[in-house]
Structure 1
Amino acid sequence: MASETIKTYCRFCHANCPMEATVEDGKLTGVRPDVDNEIFGGYTCLKGRQMPEQLYYPERIQQSLKKNADGSHTAISSSQALDEIAEKLKVIIDRHGPRAVASYNGTVSFQNSATHPVAKAWHTALKSPSYYTSITIDQPAKVGIGQARMGFWGGGSHTWGDSDVALIIGNNTLVSHFSIPGGIPAFSPSNALREGKKRGMKVICVDPRRSEVASRSDLHLQIKPGQDAALLAGLIHIILEEELHDQAFCAENIENLAEFKASLSRFTPDYVASCTELDREDIIAAARMFAGGTKGTASTGTGPEMGPNPNLIQHLTQAINAICGRHYRAGEKLPNAGVLSPLAPRLAQAVPPQPEWLTGTRSRVSDDIGEVTVLTANGPTKEMPTAIIADEILMEGDGQIKALLCVGGNPALAWPGQDKAYAALDALDLLVCIDYKLSATAEMADYVIGSKLCLERDDLTVLTDIWYEKPYSHYTKTVVEAEGDVIEEWELFWELGQRLGLTMTVNEQPVAMDSKPSKYDILAMMTRDSRVPLDEIYQRDGGHVYEVPDVIVQAADPATKGYLNVFPDGLSEELAAVVEQADEALAAKQDYPFLLISRRMKNTFNSTGPELSFLASKGTTNPAFMNPDDLAALNVASGDIISISSINGEIPAVAQSAPDIKRGVISMAHCWGAAPGAGTDDKVRDIGANTNRLINNLDGSEKYSGMARQSAIAVALKKLA
């Protein structure tokens, strides 16, 4: 029996942990951590170690499926399926125009490095703005709207490795394995946190739960959910009042600071303590601790970003970093400028607000909502906000979406407002999914295309290129050849583009449309003129830190230097809304005394994981985690079935005692359950419940992104028989 060990990396989530795969006679027989890797040091998580089972999952889709009139699916070749899909798309485009054709590129689509550039190229060639991704479900403010309103620092923000303080707001990287530069690195996060603490780093964690990060922090602010904006405003108020800010940096690079300070006058320590249910002295201590560091960054996670006021929260997070001068200055070394893009000068100056990033095709739901620019690994890209896609499908008239390509996502579980999402998916003239399993959305699809899994394809660490704190990259070649009639996600767009006669370009380079390019060809276009040539990365076995010249931040260019705007138009109204919401929350407490928040779980990645035996052994539901004192007051025990209701809906859940949860709070993971329908509630112990049934996707719609409130939801609960 021929056995081979191949270096690769996991793509179960975004962390890209290096692994060594064992292959015997063309079959994957095992994976283990790559202990030789300099960046990760042999770290992997339990999800990634299940890849052999995922690859040979008995119910895996290994041929395309076509939906029959009775709702069942029949096997069909991928070539024939793509032919038929293309013909149906032509009819829809002829009748309704290109905007009627949309794609939703979910979380898993980010794990394939070529998917998004090719998908966007397809939409551009088709002249359809209906390009949606999971980014606008949970973090459009972080990756676009915040920079558009305030601007950003050309020299880059401080990273974890050289910081002595960190303010972590609703981000639990030890479980989520997701972060941004400045927060706990997603690669070997426990070790990164341990090393930071060892060198004397001070960590402030804001979380309604004593999470894995909170339990290791120097100061844990166990905040009332939904009050993150009030807390941030209060911290900035203290810093400015006590003159703890970087006055020289502010004077040179920030405009409207006086107006900004005045707008925060109501957010005194006493007022913020009453809103957030935090101790007044802890709030003051947090402000002084963060401002007292020499380097360090405030960063947010999906907790506050999916709650109320995400645009404001992101603005205040950027603002506290700016007023404390948490940016690299002229003459300082930038730890990592990336290796997969051309080297551009990094200047110690403010890049002013980018208002054009908030313009483009408008939603038919509201003129305040429309295309937003998000910063991706391949540069700024415009996309429509996913929060309102269901309405774009259901709302009749010019521009109504009639066809949807669903790539690496499960919108029946992921889109806010599940009942509306399900109705929208059901109303489409054409629904196409590419997936490796028959998900809740794929079950509804007219065509399901079987997808390759990560070890069956080449890939490159494009997504995480600038997340590393050293110039690191990893090209992995295909480990095992895929069995069956399956394709990669990006190939779906190329195949349909060819059949529709489109001319596509990636990174301003034409994509061959007469014969399919290789994955390497696509990656070469994406990384044209990269600091390290792609072929050099391709030739190396495993991930590597490359010897490249240091990037030193240069002095400002007087001709292009701008200012960071900490008091953009509309900020006063947003701050006033925070006060109004606090009053509304008190009024609603009588009927809905609990607040439901989102969370991550170690054994799943959104809706992927429960189908695998080892991960299922860790739990087959998304429990409603609650403080034991709340359970006792309701005469509820762990394992009891409870009903959770909001003004929008009701779901069952399995109660679970959790002393780390603040009283009055229920913590549940999203993307569980099934499509709404008779009988699914009875299976809550086996499949969980979908918290999106408690949400109206238009409640509290954020300007620009249309984001709905998906965390800090006011709910009531009762014990079920």
Structure 2
Amino acid sequence: MPSKTVKTYCRYCHANCPMEIEVEDNKLISLKPDVDNEIFGGYTCLKGRQMPEQLYLPERILTSLRKNEDGSHTDIGSQQALDEIADKLKAIKEKYGPRAIASYNGTVSFQNSATHPVAKSWHVELDSPSYYTSITIDQPAKVGIGQARMGFWAAGQHTWQDSNVALIIGNNTLVSHYSIPGGIPSFSPSNALREGKKRGLKIIAVDPRKSEVASRADLHLQIKPGQDAVLLAGLIHIILDEELHDKAFCDEHIENLDTFKDNISQFTPDYVAERTELAKDDIIEAARLFAAGPKGCATTGTGPEMGPYPNLIQHLTQTINAICGRHYRAGEKLPNAGVLSPLVPRPAQAVPPTPEWLTGIRSRVSDDIGEVTVLTANGPVKEMPTAILADEILMEGEGQIKALICVGGNPLLAWPGQDKAYEALKNLDLLVCIDYKMSATCEMADYVIGSKLCLERDDLTVLTDIWYEKPYSHYAKTVIEAEGDVIEEWELFWELGKRLGLNLNIREQPLDMVNKPSKYDVLEKMTINSRVPLADIYKNDGGKVYDVPDVIVAEADPATKGRMDLMPEGITDEIAGTIKDADSSLKAKTDFPYILISRRMKNTFNSTGPELSFLAKKGTTNPAYINPEDLAELNIADGDVISITSDRGQIPAVAQSSPDIKRGVVSMAHCWGGAPGERSDDKVREIGANTNRLINNLDHASKYSGMARQSSIPVQLTKAG
């Protein structure tokens, strides 16, 4: 049978890079970038180019597995496994109630375009609020809490292509390939950055290391870790003090500006410079450069979002955008209003705060922590915060979680506070994982269901629909029929729903619970009344920019017009806490003089990558990147195994000299290592170490989300014995 070439897109991460795949006799022969694609221009990253090995990995799980009493796993047919799992779930629900059944939908689950709507429907019909995703591990403030507390602009904020200046705080899109609109686009980010600079866009990068983005910035503020809120408050102070803000916009659309200004009066340039370890003149230059605009956007990444005061940092980021009027106005054209959802009004007005988004079901850990509403591609969705999931498993009493379905995630490595996470996973009555490889969490699972990979299923660019700066979409059809007894992530919830007698629905449209619907059927329900019909997108070969009517921002509606509030409940206390911590950081040296921060690595996507040979050649550990002057002072050489100790734990790491790191800082990637214990520590060069062992998830837990402090961790460094 002759070979054929098929256009598709990679689903290794969120970027969705288009590719051309050569297939012969249902086998992947080769892949290459789709150079004809208008948006990406032939861009792919090294991770996605490893799909052939990922697809045919000898260790790939091609059936379902059941755990034996000795801890080993035995092959079992998927239908039998699902029958047994459903029976166990029925028993748990009957004995403990529906809240005892939880699911954790990890980072990889986002790459399957149908998983989350089906999973959420499953929870709703089961009457279990125990729906968790990786969103609440690192960015709940960014995708929900910030908008709920302050409100937001209905027409949206300026995007990269319309910006004259960008303030990028702890976001390194050139490596992470992730940026919600406002920062460097995640599609072909290097090209986007070059295009921006070519047309004169100015970049201000805030990062404790000279990252790939910071090295290309017009101004790099190499900040002391943990002081992002101090810097943002200082920049806003300068803008307001020098009257560089958009006064007309603020007068009409912003509440409590004067009160907010009084609350940040302490953040003078001198005060901020001393606490952030930045030059006073650079801080003033950054404030003036951003305020000059006239268009632009400030955006954050997982660096500050995983550090101290993430709720305040998001509020301050939204505030600096708002006071500078960085929003689309009436009569202006929106770059992209999306093509996969109905067109909704986009008036030039503020949507007032929605505090009801933060008043859902409470966690059993604290009344301050509970269900939050996050803004997703499928609209606002309520979920419980993952940061306290381990406690919900370990805490006895009504509502204790007894069963966990883990979808495309690796919680043993990802959840904050690894020691507690390990105990929690062991404490479950039932742990089910769906994955393509035997992850550290799968090793602990009672059942492991083999999953299809991206070329073996249909998918649609739902997640990234509004991230593009043109009305672009791509329906990727199945390229290769899966071999073995494997299913998709969304099918797991459908299969269990059928066995449990649930009636699932998507956007109030019922799914057929007798005969399994096709992926297209599910996606069609998800995109009902979309601007471009799914059938039209389906018939196109590859991704396409669609010729849809321009969306022009409408005039404000006097009946619904609101104001953004700069002083919602809790802000005063958060500002006071930031001041107290910043002042304390200036005191005498402690037992933990270094600060550990998080980072991304080109050759991995969280815990996925080291199993592939080409990526493994780039390194099989997560080094502790340290300034060479610090290494010399500690008498540590490149490649030495060191001990990193916090007030909560200790891990080994392989030292790596890195002059781009600020002195006094250690930079390490998360989601490495294995289960806690000496066996993992002895293999630090082969599997790395888990930085989540250095924290307790409830230390400094953020209000609403329980967000744990996973970056800017005080540590001590010593050479291993």
TM-score of Structure 1 vs Structure 2, range by shorter chain? over 0.9
Q: Distance in 2 between matches of 1:649 and 1:530?
A: 50
Shift of 1:653: 0.2
Q: Could you say which residue in structure 2 is the equivalent of 1:486?
A: 486
Aligned pairs (5 A) from 1:616-635: 616-635=616-635
Q: Distance in 1 between matches of 2:585 and 2:41?
A: 46
Q: Secondary structure at the match of 1:30?
A: strand
Q: Could you say which residue in structure 2 is the equivalent of 1:469?
A: 469
Mapped pair 1:702 → 2:714: no
Q: Residues 391-421 of structure 1, C-alpha deviation per residue, up to 9 Å, x if partnerless?
A: 0000000000000000000000000000000
Amino acid at match of 1:454: C
Shift of 1:162: 1.1
Q: Could you say which residue in structure 1 is the equivalent of 2:418?
A: 418
Shift of 1:2: 1.9
* 8 A contact 2:238–2:287 mirrored in 1: yes
Shift of 1:582: 1.7
Q: Could you say which residue in structure 1 is the equivalent of 2:523?
A: 523
* 8 A contact 2:457–2:478 mirrored in 1: yes
Mapped pair 1:12 → 2:12: yes
Q: Residues 175-206 of structure 1, C-alpha deviation per residue, up to 9 Å, x if partnerless?
A: 00000111000000001000000000110000
Aligned pairs (5 A) from 1:36-435: 36-435=36-435
Q: Distance in 2 between matches of 1:452 and 1:319?
A: 43
Q: Distance in 2 between matches of 1:219 and 1:29?
A: 45
Q: Could you say which residue in structure 2 is the equivalent of 1:537?
A: 537
Q: Residues 533-575 of structure 1, C-alpha deviation per residue, up to 9 Å, x if partnerless?
A: 0000000000000000000000000000000001112111100
TM-score (norm 2): 1.00
Shift of 1:274: 0.8
Amino acid at match of 1:602: K
* 8 A contact 1:110–1:463 mirrored in 2: yes
Amino acid at match of 2:646: S
Aligned pairs (5 A) from 1:631-646: 631-646=631-646
Q: Distance in 1 between matches of 2:332 and 2:491?
A: 43
Shift of 1:588: 7.6
Greater displacement, 582-591 / 139-148: 582-591
* 8 A contact 1:622–1:668 mirrored in 2: yes
Greater displacement, 585-594 / 222-231: 585-594
Shift of 1:118: 0.2
* 8 A contact 1:168–1:298 mirrored in 2: yes
Amino acid at match of 1:562: G
- Which sections of structure 1, spanning at least 5 residues, go unmatched? none
Q: Distance in 2 between matches of 1:584 and 1:47?
A: 42
Q: Secondary structure at the match of 1:655?
A: strand
Aligned pairs (5 A) from 1:501-516: 501-516=501-516
Q: Secondary structure at the match of 1:679?
A: helix
* Cα separation, partners in 2 of 1:510 and 1:585, compared to 1, 3 Å: same
Q: Distance in 2 between matches of 1:460 and 1:403?
A: 30
Q: Secondary structure at the match of 2:678?
A: coil
Q: Distance in 1 between matches of 2:22 and 2:711?
A: 42
Shift of 1:304: 0.1
* 8 A contact 1:372–1:704 mirrored in 2: yes
Amino acid at match of 2:223: I
Amino acid at match of 1:590: T
Q: Could you say which residue in structure 2 is the equivalent of 1:569?
A: 569
Q: Could you say which residue in structure 1 is the equivalent of 2:614?
A: 614
Q: Distance in 2 between matches of 1:262 and 1:22?
A: 63
Amino acid at match of 2:134: S
Shift of 1:506: 0.7
Q: Distance in 2 between matches of 1:639 and 1:3?
A: 47
Q: Alignment RMSD, CA only? A: 0.7
Q: Could you say which residue in structure 2 is the equivalent of 1:599?
A: 599
Q: Residues 94-135 of structure 1, C-alpha deviation per residue, up to 9 Å, x if partnerless?
A: 000000000000000000000000000000000000000000
Q: Distance in 2 between matches of 1:585 and 1:258?
A: 29
Mapped pair 1:665 → 2:646: no
Q: Distance in 2 between matches of 1:206 and 1:673?
A: 29
Q: Distance in 2 between matches of 1:2 and 1:584?
A: 70
Q: Secondary structure at the match of 2:205?
A: strand
Q: Distance in 2 between matches of 1:179 and 1:250?
A: 27
Q: Residues 281-329 of structure 1, C-alpha deviation per residue, up to 9 Å, x if partnerless?
A: 0000000000001100000000000000000000000000000000000
Q: Distance in 2 between matches of 1:580 and 1:156?
A: 34
Aligned pairs (5 A) from 1:572-583: 572-583=572-583
Say how many residue pairs are matched. 721
Shift of 1:587: 4.6
* 8 A contact 2:275–2:586 mirrored in 1: no
Q: Distance in 2 between matches of 1:18 and 1:73?
A: 37
- Which sections of structure 2, spanning at least 5 residues, go unmatched? none
* 8 A contact 2:275–2:585 mirrored in 1: no
Amino acid at match of 1:75: D
* 8 A contact 1:233–1:267 mirrored in 2: yes
Amino acid at match of 1:347: P
Q: Residues 350-397 of structure 1, C-alpha deviation per residue, up to 9 Å, x if partnerless?
A: 000000100111000000000000000100000000000000000000
Shift of 1:25: 1.2
Q: Distance in 1 between matches of 2:570 and 2:387?
A: 21
Greater displacement, 97-106 / 22-31: 22-31
Q: Distance in 1 between matches of 2:508 and 2:547?
A: 28
Shift of 1:30: 1.6
Greater displacement, 369-378 / 589-598: 589-598
* 8 A contact 2:638–2:657 mirrored in 1: yes
Q: Distance in 2 between matches of 1:356 and 1:350?
A: 17
* 8 A contact 2:624–2:668 mirrored in 1: yes
* 8 A contact 1:588–1:714 mirrored in 2: no
Q: Distance in 2 between matches of 1:590 and 1:103?
A: 41
Q: Distance in 2 between matches of 1:255 and 1:684?
A: 52
Amino acid at match of 2:563: Y
Q: Secondary structure at the match of 1:382?
A: strand
Q: Residues 641-670 of structure 1, C-alpha deviation per residue, up to 9 Å, x if partnerless?
A: 000000000000000000000000000000
Q: Secondary structure at the match of 2:103?
A: strand
Q: Secondary structure at the match of 2:168?
A: strand
Q: Residues 554-604 of structure 1, C-alpha deviation per residue, up to 9 Å, x if partnerless?
A: 000000000000111211110010011123334584200000000000000
Q: Secondary structure at the match of 1:625?
A: strand
Q: Distance in 2 between matches of 1:116 and 1:609?
A: 23
Q: Secondary structure at the match of 1:225?
A: coil
Q: Distance in 2 between matches of 1:114 and 1:475?
A: 13
Q: Distance in 1 between matches of 2:589 and 2:416?
A: 23
Shift of 1:720: 1.2
Q: Distance in 1 between matches of 2:506 and 2:495?
A: 15
Amino acid at match of 2:582: A
Q: Secondary structure at the match of 2:365?
A: coil
Q: Secondary structure at the match of 1:597?
A: strand
Q: Could you say which residue in structure 2 is the equivalent of 1:688?
A: 688
Q: Distance in 2 between matches of 1:276 and 1:17?
A: 37
Percent identity of paired positions between Structure 1 and Structure 2: 79
Q: Secondary structure at the match of 1:91?
A: helix
Q: Distance in 2 between matches of 1:681 and 1:145?
A: 37
Q: Distance in 1 between matches of 2:352 and 2:78?
A: 48
Q: Distance in 2 between matches of 1:539 and 1:56?
A: 29
Q: Residues 217-262 of structure 1, C-alpha deviation per residue, up to 9 Å, x if partnerless?
A: 0000000000000000000000000000000000000010000111
Shift of 1:682: 0.8
Amino acid at match of 1:245: H
Q: Distance in 1 between matches of 2:663 and 2:629?
A: 7
